[in-house]
Structure 1
Amino acid sequence: MIPINLTELTTLLELPAPRVGGDEMVRSVTTDSRTARTEGVFVAIDGERHRGSDHAVAALRRGALAVVSPRIPEASGADGRIFVVADPRAALLRLAADQRRRCPARVAAITGSNGKTTTKDLLGTLMKRQGETVVAANSFNNAIGLSLTLLEATSSTKWMILEIGTNAPGEV
């Protein structure tokens, strides 16, 4: 990720300035509280079987710098580190779009009915020989997966190899 500070993050998400740590740098974003880490932000997206905000405290305990969530969990003790947004998924997309604007990498996006993952992996292997390359993990081919992949790029990334899938007409 191209680092931004917490104040820049809150400005980007159109939130009030952070009460604490505005100069602290954000260096990673995750939607899985189990992978939350120091200098990272956990985006609490609700899934089919769970509420993302239920994992906010766990992410903070693992060292997350902040949480972007639709609600503040009870007894969080977060000391101003949980930023409430109406739609965490939209917040993630906004963060990814900002990172894409700031990243100099060229992008190859693979789509189609069959062979996307294989093609992505082969192209990623080839492009890694040309310089720093970010390749979408597994089949990270929906809006969340693509956003997380874009957020892996740094200012020295030369290539991003993405896989784009669709679940509904007009999604791509």
Structure 2
Amino acid sequence: MSSGMEASPQTTSQAYIALGSNMGDREQMLREALRLLQEHASIDVLRVSNVYETDPVGYTDQSSFLNMAAALETTLEPMPLLRAMLLIEQQLGRKRDVRFGPRTIDLDLLLYEDVRMEEDELILPHPRMMERAFVLVPLRDVLHPKHSLQEQASQAANRALQDGGEGIALWNTINWQDASAPSES
């Protein structure tokens, strides 16, 4: 598809997402979601947080979650990025039967550059992220040090961890850079 002219590079944006799972092999679900995000032609997974085990919030009669966050670089605008994330949830067996109920995978778009929007499908920044330790603690791990929310997220995460942890504990780490490196076979 060469026309002899250089294609102009597409503008990339940074986005931050939360990932969670409390059904089946929870850690494997997180890994699969990251893999599918990375395989998307318009998404690059830049950084991933530690994995934290957290108590359920809202509907509490369910298993504990594994939660993490990821920093993405994407050429997609917010709504197409959200739709790509929803498709990945569907591919990984997500069913939306009970609000805040058990799920194989949950992908939430938290931040997209400095975009502020309020649509039926998507509100940015995520409206409840600053109230949720299970979002803030992993988000603190991946936020760019100069991000405008870094200090606020760090303070809120530290408070949550000091005030009894709000049911959140370090579970594991996923060494994303090694896992996503091309093999030499």
Normalising by structure 2, we get a TM-score of 0.27
Structure with more strand by fraction: 2
> Whose relative contact order is higher, 1 or 2, with alpha carbons under 8 Å and at least 6 apart?
2
